[in-house]
Amino acid sequence: MKIIVLGAGYVGLVSAACFAEFGVHVVCVDQSEEKIAALLRGEIPIFEPGLDDLVKRNVQNGNLSFSTSMVPAIKEADAVFIAVGTPTRRGGGHADLSYVYAAAKEIAQNLSRYTVVVTKSTVPVGTGREIMRLMREANPKAEFDVCSNPEFLREGSAIGDFMRPDRVVIGCESERAAAVMRALYRPLYLIETPMVVANLETAELTKYAANAFLATKITFINEIADLCEKVGADVQTVSKGMGLDGRIGRKFLHAGPGYGGSCFPKDTLALASTAQDKGAPMRLVETVIDVNDRRKKSMAARVIEACGGSVAGKTIAVLGVTFKPNTDDMRDSVSLDVIPALQKAGATIRAYDPEGAKEAAKLLNDVVWGKGAYDAMRGADAAVILTEWNEFRALDLEEVKALLKTPVLVDLRNIYKPEEMRAAGFTYSSIGRR
Ligand code: UGA
């Protein structure tokens, strides 16, 4: 089988490399000459565990190649996956589909045989049908079907999520296209991955519904955590006690500083906007967005309180700045709220992140970057754990105490136990626990 993947961003690159690993011939296309030149040199523009090896291996065995143009490969392609960006449009919550539609038109103009056009980018309900219309308009003779195949991969574990997914969702309205999709996902059929096949709109909405539900679950436990603090309960135990109910499930019930990343914030906004437009407003999702935004903004106040009510003239060590571990992605990370707010309150920030410092340095000003966690904490008045990287989970507490001017630790990811930290001599605060 031969496919083209349009877009060498997160979803595009991971999908291209994973399909190549399945034995499909993949050409990954991106408009950015710089990005393609780097990929051709073997440089991977994002940090994702295992991705560089997967790309290298499949480039070497000839299954994966990169190009700035879809034209040479399209004549032989069984399918073209659209995995270009869908950023939030300025001045509203809607996803910007201009890259998706431009890609669809270009595909239509270059088709010379039956091809399945698949949206992998998260696109609002109705986009697949609009792509169909635009393609027919651009090339009335073109033979094609449009499918929706939303991606459910998580940054940091994207390859595992692609290779061993909970399910594959395919929105597809012709048997011919379904046969192509089944052939592409054959290795997953062999491991009995459930396939949910539906019409275009159903598949598109499933993706938004899944992300909005997970964002709601997180926001729910975050509000329970706030209540735990008021009543003397422990959120981790509440979460365990709830999550063991099979109907609820334990995952995505970790209280923290609020969700971030490139997906939940953008997708919840887009879903709420679509729902408004269609006259079926989703008040629950709108509230989740609002509660989460306020939560992220309120985290700096927690740090200030832990520092005795003021951080003016103090140095705060921040451990972790990415929106979650195992990524260098800074999009909508809580650090972008917390660090500027602490600086505004008069603090100097020393920070360390195992992978995110380069990206973060473009977005945050006046941060002193430490060479490691201990280096960032040297001489600081307090330390704040913002991202739960594994290397922060087993810090040498005696060394931390010796490095900090005062042993104040604010753990916004609940990776330490309050009683152990207190026994070790720390003034420790966390989320939803005493
Ligand atoms: C999310 C979904 O989990 C994927 O299934 C989906 O494919 C992806 O969006 C997407 O739409 O492309 P991702 O954004 O990579 O994946 O990261 P998550 O692991 O879901 O975490 C999102 C945010 O929620 C992070 O800020 C994380 O710290 C936070 N979170 C997650 C919590 O605060 N508590 C939890 O229990 C889980």
pLDDT, tens digit, for every residue of 96-111? 899 999 999 999 999 9
| Residue from 214, 216, 331, 333 whose mutation best tests the ligand 1 pocket (most atoms within 8 A of CB) | 214
147-171 average pLDDT score = 95
The H or E element containing residue 369 is: strand 367-369
Active site residues: 263
Considering the domain architecture, whether residues 235 and 281 belong to the same structural domain is answered as yes
pLDDT of residue 87: 79
pLDDT band at 58 (very low <50, low <70, confident <90, very high): very high
Domain contains 116: yes
Rg over CA atoms, the chain: 23
Q: d(Cα 172, Cα 196) in Å, to the nearest integer?
A: 10
Residue 203 lies in a domain: no
- The residue from 256, 289, 322 where one domain ends is 289
CATH number at residue 224: 1.10.1040.10
Ligand 1 close to Cβ of residue 218 (< 6 A): yes
> What gap in Å lies between CA 350 and CA 315, rounded to an integer?
7
pLDDT > 90: percent of the chain: 94
Residue 323 Cβ inside 6 Å of ligand 1? The answer reads: yes
Q: Which long-range contacts (CB under 8 A, 24 or more apart) does 278-283 make?
A: 282/212
Task: Please identify, by atom number, the ligand 1 atom nearest to the C-alpha of residue 158.
Answer: 15
Q: Are residues 191 and 228 in the same domain?
A: no
Last residue of a domain, one of 227, 256, 289: 289
Cα–ligand 1 centroid distance for 196 (angstroms): 22
**pLDDT bucket at 92, cuts 50 / 70 / 90:** confident
Indicate if the alpha-carbon torsion angle 280, 285, 291, 294 is positive or negative. negative
Same domain, 44 and 158: yes
CB of 264 within 6 A of ligand 1: the answer is yes
Mean pLDDT of 40-49: 91
Give the C-alpha separation, 258 to 297, whole Å. 9
Residue 368 has pLDDT above 80, yes or no: yes
pLDDT at 189 over 70: yes
Whether residue 434 is contained in a domain is answered as no
CA 342 to the chain's CA centroid: 25
Prediction pTM value: 0.94
Q: Do 17 and 162 share a domain, yes or no? A: yes
Pocket test of ligand 1: the residue of 151, 153, 262 to mutate, having most ligand atoms within 8 Å of its CB, is 153
The residue segments making up the domain with residue 111 are 2-198
In the chain, pLDDT over 70 holds for what percent of residues? Answer: 100
- Ligand 1 pocket test target in 211, 236, 262, 296 with most atoms within 8 Å of CB: 211
Chain-centre distance of CA 294, in angstroms?
Answer: 20
**Distance, C-alpha 257 to centroid of its chain:** 16
Residue given tokens 């006046």 in the structure block: 366
Q: Is the pLDDT assigned to residue 328 strictly greater than 70?
A: yes
Strand partners, 81: 5, 118
Same domain, 302 and 273: no
- Closest atom of ligand 1 relative to the 122 alpha carbon: 11
Q: Are the C-beta atoms of residues 273 and 126 closer than 8 Å to each other?
A: no
What is the model's pLDDT at position 93?
73
Q: What is the pLDDT of residue 85?
A: 87
Q: How many Å separate Cα 363 from the centre of its chain?
A: 18
Give me the chain's average pLDDT, please: 96
143 found inside a domain = yes
pLDDT category at 91 given cuts 50, 70, 90 is: low
Do 60 and 173 fall within a single domain? yes
- Our count of domains for the chain comes to 3
Q: How confident is the model at residue 95 (pLDDT cuts 50, 70, 90)?
A: confident
pLDDT at 65 over 90: yes
Please report the atom of ligand 1 found closest to the CA of residue 387.
28
Question: Is pLDDT at 6 greater than 80 in this prediction?
Answer: yes
Residue 402: inside a domain:
yes
CATH number, domain with residue 367: 3.40.50.720
